[in-house]
Amino acid sequence: MIKIFVTGDNHFGKKYDRYPEIRDRLVDNRFVCFEKMVEKAEQEGCDIFAVTGDLFDNCSSIRKSDVERVVRILAGFAGRVLVLPGNHDYYTGEEKVWKDFDDALRTCDNNIIRLDRFEPYPIEIAEETVVIYPAFCRSKHSRENNLGWIKKMSVPKSGQINVGMAHGAIEGVTPDMQKEYFLMTEPELQAIPMDVWLVGHTHIPYPGGLSEDEEIGGYRIFNAGTHAQTDLHNNTRGYGFIISVDKQGDKAQVSAKKYQSGTIFFYDIAVRVSSAEGDSLEALLQEKLDPLEAESVVRLTVTGSAVSEEYSRRRELYKKYCDRFLSWELQDDELHEEITLDRVREEFAESSFAAKLMEALQGDQTELQMAYELLQECSRE
Ligand SMILES: [Mn+2]
């Protein structure tokens, strides 16, 4: 039996320009989480640490010191490290990032193999022969995937463990409207006699149903997703997969579990307050925000109507519940102060059309609110 730790789409060199005040923290965290994965792979006794592409965010502007830091972390793994070039860090032999990578490899003892040729890579692990078939990227985009050379091979079905590695979109799993990201289909992958497929490109984990506690069988195609959530739009907590392959004759038993590697999370929190329904802004903020980890980046959107007392100290309330986060931003243009008849009577003459209209809407807070805003707008003009 062999054990493989799988990660991908690590995107070292990602700049986080949207968050200038915590940028360094977010950049550093991707390294820290990556290092923890290597430690986990060691603890689990993994034979291979596999990176399924997009280890780096691009080919040309990654700082050499960052490339060196990645290589130092990978070199700390006792087993074999396999690095597949993805579409962001594609390989033709000319790319700066890979030249810096080669320079870094020369400075340390390591077991790192970059899979940059379309050919089988046999690896001996104890009594087993594992053969890696890489479909790496040679460009940022391609309408064709790179599985073609593997389909043409006659792959021995027994006597070796066959591991396919590929980078690109999987139909039905990754959105690829323009079909420009090395699109593959699951039946296409299943038809190639690999015991297991390690795929990268999709930033969320696939399959989604793996457990952290027990190994689950029944899957052969794996895409771990990025190891540390990248932004609000990336719906993962950051995982690596640990995959066991036990081969007897031509039959492979594959089982897998996941490991949560991410420690900083991005949350889009929407709070809808309705004073008419007796909501308390503070109670809702507490309910939605208290469960979140302090190491979070939060976007808070508040809408609806709040009673006067809470509305006037809303900024104080936001601070109370959000200041413990790494970073937070607020959108509350659509939060209004509750309109009460007392307030209407203060602002409009009792006999006015405005006052009469709003008295008539009493009891329907939404309509009252709308009427109030319309009338305010009219009176400004
Ligand atoms: Mn990619």
- What is the distance in A from the centroid of ligand 1 to the CA of 236? 16
CA 6 to chain CA mean position, Å:
15
**pTM (predicted TM-score):** 0.92
d(CA 253, CA 147): 23
d(CA 376, CA 223): 55
Q: Is the pLDDT of residue 332 over 90?
A: yes
165-190 pLDDT, tens digit per residue, is 999 999 999 988 899 999 999 999 99
pLDDT at 373: 80
- What is the distance in A from the centroid of ligand 1 to the CA of 306? 44
> For residue 138, with 0-12 CB atoms within 10 Å meaning exposed, 13-18 middle and 19 or more buried, which class applies?
middle
d(CA 237, CA 220): 22
d(CA 274, CA 80): 58
pLDDT at 345: 84
* pLDDT class of 106 with cuts at 50, 70, 90: very high
Cβ proximity of 1 and 44 under 8 Å: no
Q: Where is 23: in which H helix or E strand?
A: helix 23-43
Q: Is the pLDDT of residue 5 over 80?
A: yes
137-174 pLDDT, tens digit per residue, is 999 999 999 999 999 999 999 999 999 999 999 999 99
pLDDT at 381: 66
* pLDDT class of 352 with cuts at 50, 70, 90: confident
pLDDT, mean of residues 342-366: 84
Q: Is the pLDDT of residue 365 over 80?
A: no
- What is the distance in A from the centroid of ligand 1 to the CA of 14? 13
Q: Range with the lowest mean pLDDT among 177-186, 280-289, 354-363?
A: 354-363
- What is the distance in A from the centroid of ligand 1 to the CA of 276? 48
Backbone torsion region of residue 194, taken as left when φ is above 0, otherwise alpha when ψ lies between -120 and 50, otherwise beta: beta
Whole-number percent of the chain with pLDDT over 70: 100
Q: Where is 3: in which H helix or E strand?
A: strand 2-7
pLDDT at 115: 98
Q: Is the pLDDT of residue 380 over 80?
A: no
- What is the distance in A from the centroid of ligand 1 to the CA of 141? 9
Q: Range with the lowest mean pLDDT among 284-298, 299-313, 346-360?
A: 346-360
- What is the distance in A from the centroid of ligand 1 to the CA of 115? 16
pLDDT, mean of residues 32-42: 98
Q: Is the pLDDT of residue 210 over 70?
A: yes
d(CA 13, CA 98): 13
pLDDT, mean of residues 293-314: 96
- What is the distance in A from the centroid of ligand 1 to the CA of 53? 7
- What is the distance in A from the centroid of ligand 1 to the CA of 122? 25
d(CA 249, CA 246): 10
The mean of the pLDDT values for the chain is 95
* pLDDT class of 17 with cuts at 50, 70, 90: very high
- What is the distance in A from the centroid of ligand 1 to the CA of 139? 11
d(CA 149, CA 160): 19
- What is the distance in A from the centroid of ligand 1 to the CA of 86? 6
Q: Is the pLDDT of residue 368 over 90?
A: no
Q: What are phi and psi of 288, to 5 degrees?
A: -85, -30
- What is the distance in A from the centroid of ligand 1 to the CA of 155? 27
pLDDT at 304: 93
Q: Is the pLDDT of residue 372 over 90?
A: no
- What is the distance in A from the centroid of ligand 1 to the CA of 297? 24
